[in-house]
Amino acid sequence: MNQNLISYLINFVIYFILQVVFLHHVTLFNTAFCFVYVSILLFMPFNIGTIPFMVMGFGLGLLVDFSYGTIGIHAAACVLVCYVRPYIINNIEPISGYDGNSRPLLRVMGMAWFSRYALIMIGIHHTLLLLIEVGNFSLFFSTLAKIVFSIGFTYVVILLFQYVFHSSKGGR
């Protein structure tokens, strides 16, 4: 358990620093944003409890909010992701089921399952985050474009990180 905790803390620090130091100002064509920090929540083990997970998501979101100078939008999006994750995981469960101690990593679950899971979770996160940021529906098509392109951008970056950081390590 201590080895897992250390692994989670190292992942947390890496993804958080990547987000707030390097990816904070990265945008593609002023439309696609990369919020790779959400992968901290995506890669937690299947058997984590919902309430502790939501508290962790709230803390992560607040840290990002403090770093970005926003007021609660990242925290809200992270808490929503933590809340819906068990339902999403149950709805896309493979026939063989899950090993409770494993993590939803690409090399553990396979490309089809991982893509479905990651795109749904990233989509939920980005949709809420960007809708709260805009605050109304007057810029609906512009916001919709930002949501779609940001989901794609974040997904591609997370896939790259999966191949770089998690390809040779164990998924447990």
- Helix segments in 24-135, DSSP class H: 39-42, 50-68, 73-91, 106-109, 111-134
User: What is the predicted pLDDT for the residue at 100?
Assistant: 66
Could you read off the pLDDT of 131-162 as tens digits, one per residue? 999 887 788 899 999 999 999 999 999 999 88
| Domain layout of the chain by residue ranges | 2-83+98-165
User: What is the predicted pLDDT for the residue at 5?
Assistant: 72
CA 165 – CA 88 distance, rounded (Å): 25
User: What is the predicted pLDDT for the residue at 170?
Assistant: 45
Could you read off the pLDDT of 100-142 as tens digits, one per residue? 678 888 888 889 999 999 999 999 999 999 999 988 778 889 9
Could you read off the pLDDT of 42-54 as tens digits, one per residue? 999 888 889 999 9
Residue pair 27/33 in contact by the 8 Å Cβ criterion: yes
CA 166 – CA 68 distance, rounded (Å): 28
Read off the tokens for 79.
Answer: 């808490």
Beta bridge partners of 27: 33
**Residue 119 neighbours by CB under 8 Å, 6+ apart:** 151, 155
Residue 81: other Cβ atoms inside 10 A: 26
> What is the mean pLDDT of the segment spanning 94-103?
74
**Residue 127 neighbours by CB under 8 Å, 6+ apart:** 147
Read off the tokens for 145.
Answer: 């474009």
Q: Give, rounded to a whole angstrom, the gap between the first and last alpha carbons of the chain.
A: 10
CA 37 – CA 39 distance, rounded (Å): 5
Indicate whether this model's pTM tops 0.95. no
Could you tell me the sign of the dihedral formed by the alpha carbons of 164, 126, 116, 170, in that order? positive
